[in-house]
Structure formats: structure tokens, C-alpha cells
Amino acid sequence: MLQRMDRVDRQYILPEGELTDAGRNIWNEFSKEKKQAFYRWMVQVRSFDRRLVTLQRQGRSGTYAPMEGQEAAQVGCALALSKEDWIFPSYRELGIFMVAGMPLKQIILYWMGRVEGNVAPDGVRVLPPYVPIATQMPQAMGAAWAAKLKGERSVSVACFGDGATSEGDFHESLNFAGVFQLPVIFFCQNNHYAISVPFTRQSAVPTVAERASSYQIRGIRVDGNDVLAVYSAMEEAVVQARQGGGATLIEAVTYRLGNHTTADDATRYRDQLEEKEWISYRDPVVRLEMLLKSEGLLTEAEIQDWEEHCRDVVEQAVKEAESAAGLPPEHMFDHVYEELPSDLRRQREELSGKGKKHA
């Protein structure tokens, strides 16, 4: 796996926390505040992700899809977008939700099974998480087509994992986007495993990005644990889309350090040595931390202060979510059918005490 990671088109921050020559040229254009913002967002995302895993283990929320290890990919992607752009996420996009402006309380409510967790505040153009694999891709493509027909500047972004590239929706969306030159970005976080199936068993070609050429759109493969590489690729793709240059497929090569979900046991199909290599050598938060410390932009005291701040923010969100008013049991019938079938209508009435119960 590590050898395949080296086959990327773009890597600016090396695992040792050092910049390449090309990376330094881009990095030096950023303000101190922007450099620190990359780090602060990534630490905040990791802190929240770990807390959500704990909540599930304590029986305080439902099944959760951890994303630790993918912070650079998600923060780099989201920070390159503007408020006018539309985001079509999968269920593992915690970092993208946060940067896009989704309140932490709402995110927690979603994982608690509350429908309110799907409702984004005004001005936050992020759709609810798509659980069926790749179904967000045709919708992102459709939104981009609508924007082009209406003459709008918005760009649509479909976020998905490597498993989605085995679905027909992936190919249909890229083909349509290529034919009509749509302002859409297909952002793949290749974390090497679609649940328990390694990418090598899904694809005869070694990369996702090279598939873009089949649809006459741009494809680029970046180090997904390098926030600068991801941000740069996304920024270029956004500019291209806004200027009428069509779609881009970005493959961010990364690794999920945890299980597929809290209902999964990755030790049954992953080599623990492989996991240790990614944790010790390619951790996206650690490499950025080393870079900032080497430039005098981050101290140990500041790291501890920010981590404490992140924990406080997360705990406040947990309190708010858990103190939200409860919903009546009948609520389970409200969001599936426009008009309830007779059997479900009868069950709803029985539950509410308005109908005759049957033995």
C-alpha cells in the first residue's frame, strides 16, 4: 500500500513535515492566519470525531463512521470552496460538514437518529449525508448542470470513497459531466478499503484519477494526507469549473485509521503493521504540526491550549444535543411516505392511543 501512495501527481508537505520546493512557493503566499487555520480545523475535526466514537460506544448515539486520518483531505477540500458552492457528501464527511458551517449540535443529532440533524442552517449549502453508495454523484452532476443552464457561478462537489468508483453512478456522472462540460468536482478520498474490500480487488487500473481520461475530464491524484496539496488541487478545480472549463476528478490518497463504522472490526481484514506505518509515518495532523513548529508558528503550549479549546467546544455541543427536547414515538412515521398506507396509519394511531389495539 505504501508504494502505491508514492504514485501521486502532487505532494507538497512531506511526511517528515518538510516542504518541497513547489510546495514552499505556494505555502509562502499564505498568511500566518491561514496556515494556522489549516491546523486548527484539522485538530478540531479529529477531536470531534474521537468524541463521536466514544458517544457511540457509551450507547449515547447510533452507529458512526469514523474518519480519523482523513482530516487533511476533508479540510483541504472544504476550505477551497465558497458559500455559493454545493456539497454532496457521503456519511464520512465530518470535516467537510464542520468547515462548511454545519453546527456541531446538528451533526450529533444526525448520528443520534434525529431528523433535525439533516437540516442545514440558511446559507450552508451542504446536503444531508448520502448513505447508499455513490447516489450523491448524479445529484451533484445534476445540480452542476442546473447551475450552468441558469448561468450561476456555483460549483457542485461530490465527495465519495474508493468503493463508490465501483458503482454505475460514478461512471454515468463522469460521462455526463464530460459531455456537457459541467462545473462539478468529483472528490474521491481513496482510503484503500471499501469496508473490507481493498482497492486492489476493485480496480484493474492502479488509480482512480486515471479514469478521468475516459470521459475527457481532468484527473489528478494527490497526497490526501497533505492538506496543502489537497487545497491547491481543489482551488484549481474550482477556478476551472467557474470559468467554464468543465469537471475535475480528484483522487486524494489517504487512509482511515479506524474501523469502517463502529459496527466493523478492521483487524479482521487489515494488516496491523500497515496501520502502524500510516499512523507513525503519514499522520496528516502530525506532519502539519511539525511544519508549523519548524517555522515558529506553533508551540507546545499553543498545541495544548487549542486541544483543550476543541474539547470544550465539543463537550458543549454534546450537552446541547443531549438536552434537545425529545420527539414522540409517532415521529418514526413522518418522513417516509407522503401519505401513509393503511396498515402504517393504523399502527400510528395505536401508538398514539387513538386507535384500537389488536391482539
List the catalytic residue out of 114, 125, 211, 260. Answer: 260
List the catalytic residue out of 114, 256, 270, 287. Answer: 256
Same domain? 197 vs 344: no
Same domain? 341 vs 302: no
| Nearest residue to 86 (alpha-carbon basis) of 18, 135, 167, 157 | 157
Cα dihedral sign, 101-110-279-3: negative
Same domain? 256 vs 356: no
Determine contact, residues 189/254, Cβ cutoff 8 Å. Answer: yes
List the catalytic residue out of 7, 153, 201, 269. Answer: 269
Q: Would you list the DSSP string of 98-113?
A: HHHT--HHHHHHHHTT
Q: Is 91 a catalytic residue?
A: no
Q: What's the pLDDT at 3? A: 42
Same domain? 336 vs 215: no
Same domain? 323 vs 343: no
- Residue 338, domain extent: 328-359
What is the spatial distance between Cα 31 and Cα 37, in angstroms, rounded to a whole number?
10
Same domain? 347 vs 238: no
CA distances 32 to 37, 292, 298, Å, are 9, 10, 10
For the chain, 359 residues long, give each residue's pLDDT as a single digit of tens: 444 555 899 999 999 999 999 999 999 999 999 999 999 999 999 999 999 999 999 999 999 999 999 999 999 999 999 999 999 999 999 999 999 999 999 999 999 999 899 999 999 999 999 999 999 999 999 999 999 999 999 999 999 999 999 999 999 999 999 999 999 999 999 999 999 999 999 999 999 999 999 999 999 999 999 999 999 999 999 999 999 999 999 999 999 999 999 999 999 999 989 999 999 889 999 999 999 999 999 999 999 999 999 999 999 999 999 999 888 888 889 888 999 999 999 999 999 887 665 54
Same domain? 347 vs 275: no
Determine contact, residues 247/217, Cβ cutoff 8 Å. Answer: yes
| Nearest residue to 99 (alpha-carbon basis) of 258, 231, 209, 252 | 231
What is the spatial distance between Cα 20 and Cα 223, in angstroms, rounded to a whole number?
13
Same domain? 207 vs 336: no
Q: Which residue has the cell 450507547?
A: 59
Same domain? 277 vs 348: no
| Number of continuous H segments (helices) and E segments (strands) in the chain | 13, 7
Same domain? 137 vs 253: yes
Same domain? 134 vs 221: yes
Q: What's the pLDDT at 7? A: 83
Domain count within the chain: 2
Secondary structure E strands in 145-230: 156-161, 184-190, 193-194, 197-198, 218-223
Q: Which residue has the cell 460538514?
A: 97
From the CA atom positions of the chain, what is the Rg in Å?
21
Q: What's the pLDDT at 356? A: 62
CATH number of the CATH domain containing 112: 3.40.50.970
What is the spatial distance between Cα 34 and Cα 31, in angstroms, rounded to a whole number?
5
What is the spatial distance between Cα 290 and Cα 35, in angstroms, rounded to a whole number?
12
Grid cell listed for 13: 508537505
| Nearest residue to 310 (alpha-carbon basis) of 39, 43, 23 | 43
Same domain? 253 vs 355: no
Q: Is 260 a catalytic residue?
A: yes
- Alpha carbon 87 to its chain centroid, in Å, reads 10
Q: What's the pLDDT at 2? A: 44
